[in-house]
Copies of this chain bind each other. A is one copy, B any other.
Amino acid sequence: MSNKPQLEVCLSPALLHLFDTKDRIVVIIDVFRATSTIAAALDNGAKSIIPVATVEECIELGEHTDNSITAGERNGKVVEGLQYGNSPSEYSKDFVAGKTLVLTTTNGTKLLHMVEGAAQIITGSFLNLSAVCDYLIKQNMPVLLGCAAWKDRFNLEDTLFAGMVVDRVKEYFDINCDSAYAAEQLHHSLNGQKPIDFLKNSAHYKRLSAYGLQSDMEYCATVDKHNVLPVLHGRELLIDK
């Protein structure tokens, strides 16, 4: 028996019920684009981020929260009734510093609300890869990497990120999970390419490209540009310090 904590990868919210989330660190991964936006906004000085499930909650909470911004998307577009979208480049220091971002998205915020009993919930993306890996190693607890996927469908971008994490932290964990192994192989198949070049093959890249969001995805695929660790405290994501 290994004394190392277990690490597993869940490829879709539709598979979440197969995994134990209790007493684990669950890493929510929604590279295009919720968890990238979260890392960018917090790194640029947002006070906190409140992920919410529905547009109605987002609007209502925005009305009752001082100095807040309501933001979100459905199917890649800003939703009517919300002020901003789900693009990390929208949240510059000048704009977001000191504000609370109330955020609702198609996949990432949904997954976050599905997780039950976790010891901690954190969010990961290429933008904060090293912060996530360093934290997981330091905590020395069981981990579930949770891919937000696209409407429950397996996606390349979240899996590739999970594979990068596996590759970096694996010596510290006991891993007996085919999804983790496959994700790591996907990472190895990058073979020197930049993540974005690989991710141009993904269905989501093609989908968002149709809205002219290529530069947004390039942003999201940049490693360690916003190297902060968002941790859920109550209903708010805050930077771990």
Contacts and interface: CB of A to CB of B under 8 A. Distances in A.
B201 A153 contact: no
B189 A185 contact: yes
Contacts of A188: 189
A178 B153 contact: yes
Nearest to A201: B181
Interface residues of A, number: 28
A11 B179 CA distance: 10
A213 to B, nearest CB: 17
- Count the copies: 2
Contact of A181 (B178, B181, B202): B202
Contacts of A202: 178, 181
A169 interface: no
Interface in A137-186: 150-156, 159, 176-179, 181-182, 185-186
Q: Considering the complex of A and B, which 8 residue pairs feature the smallest CB-CB distances, nearest first?
A: A185-B189, A156-B178, A154-B179, A155-B178, A178-B203, A181-B201, A18-B153, A178-B202
Interface of A: 11-12, 14-15, 18, 150-156, 159, 176-179, 181-182, 185-186, 188-189, 201-204, 206
